[in-house]
Amino acid sequence: MAKDIIIVHSGFLRQNTLALDPDTEARVKEGMRLFGNGVAPYLFMNGGPGGLKDDSDKFAGFLPRTSLIVHADVMAQYAIDHGIPEDKIVKQRFSSDTVGETLFGLGKILETHKFNNAVSVSVNYHGMRIQALAARIWGNGYTCEFVGTETPGKPEELEAEKRNEWNRLDTFLTSFKDIPTGDAKAFETALYERHGLYKTDKVPLEKRVHFEY
C-alpha cells in the first residue's frame, strides 16, 4: 500500500441534527473510496467539537466542549454504516479547527503509531493550507499528499473561500513565526497561549490534552 493512513479533515455538522453537511459527507466518501482502492490500511477521522451550520448553510458557531458527540464520531459512524470495518477507523476528537487537527493528529495518531506517510482529504481549496500546516508543524520525516473534493457554489463564493484560506494561513504563520519547524511540543504550548479556539476561556487547563510528540 502506498500510504500509512488516509486523513479525512472535518468540515461542518448540521446544527440541529449533528448530521454531516454535504461538504463533509463528500470528504468522508472520498476517504472511503481511497480506502476501498487500497491506498492505505486505515481511515483517520480528524475532528473534535468543530463548526456548525444551520439549515440555510450559514455558520452557526461551534459545538461546545461538553458535547458527547463530535465531528470525528459522526464521520466514523457514516463510514461504518457504509461498510468500512470499525477496526480500520481511528479518530482524533479534540481539535476545533485545521491547525488543531494537524497538531493533535500528529500526537494522537501519526507519532503514536509511527505513521509518516499520509494522504489528506478535504475540499479542493483547503489543500494548500493543509499541506503548509503539515510541513510547518510536522517537519521533516513526514509526507502529506492531498486529494481534494469538489464543492458546488458560485465562482465568486469559491474565490472568497480561497482568499479566506490564504488569510488563515497568513495568520497562523505570523502568530507562530517564532516556533521552530517540526517542534510539535512548542506548537502545542503556543496553541494554548495564542489561538483563540484553545485559550483558557475556550479550553480550561483541566480540559487540555497533551501528547508526547
Identify whether the C-beta of residue 191 lies closer than 8 Å to the C-beta of residue 208: no
Nearest to 65 by CA among 94, 45, 98: 94
Question: What is the rounded distance in angstroms from the CA atom of residue 125 to the CA atom of residue 120?
Answer: 13
Specify the pLDDT at position 6: 98
Mean of the per-residue pLDDT values of the chain: 96
Digit-coded pLDDT (tens) for 149-202: 987 777 888 888 899 999 999 999 999 999 999 999 999 999 999 999 999 999
Q: Which domains does the chain have, with CATH numbers?
A: 5-207 (3.40.50.620)
Specify the pLDDT at position 1: 62
Question: What is the rounded distance in angstroms from the CA atom of residue 76 to the CA atom of residue 89?
Answer: 7
Identify whether the C-beta of residue 10 lies closer than 8 Å to the C-beta of residue 50: yes
Identify whether the C-beta of residue 47 lies closer than 8 Å to the C-beta of residue 23: no
Sheet containing 12-14: which strands, arranged edge to edge?
A: 12-14, 51-53, 59-62
**Between vectors from CA 87 to CA 141 and to CA 150, what angle results, nearest 5°?**
65
Q: What is the pTM of this model?
A: 0.96
* Burial environment of residue 62 by CB neighbours within 10 A (0 to 12, 13 to 18, 19 or more): middle
* Burial environment of residue 82 by CB neighbours within 10 A (0 to 12, 13 to 18, 19 or more): exposed
Fill in the DSSP letter of residue 144: E
Q: What is the torsion angle, in degrees rounded to the nearest 10, for the CA atoms of residue 5, residue 89, residue 172 and residue 12?
A: 130
Grid coordinates belonging to 156: 465568486
Specify the pLDDT at position 156: 83
Non-local CB neighbours of 160 within 8 Å, separated by 6+ positions: none
Half-sphere exposure of 61 (CA within 13 A, CB side): 6
Specify the pLDDT at position 157: 82
Digit-coded pLDDT (tens) for 12-59: 999 999 999 999 999 999 999 999 999 999 999 999 999 999 999 999
Digit-coded pLDDT (tens) for 86-106: 999 999 999 999 999 999 999
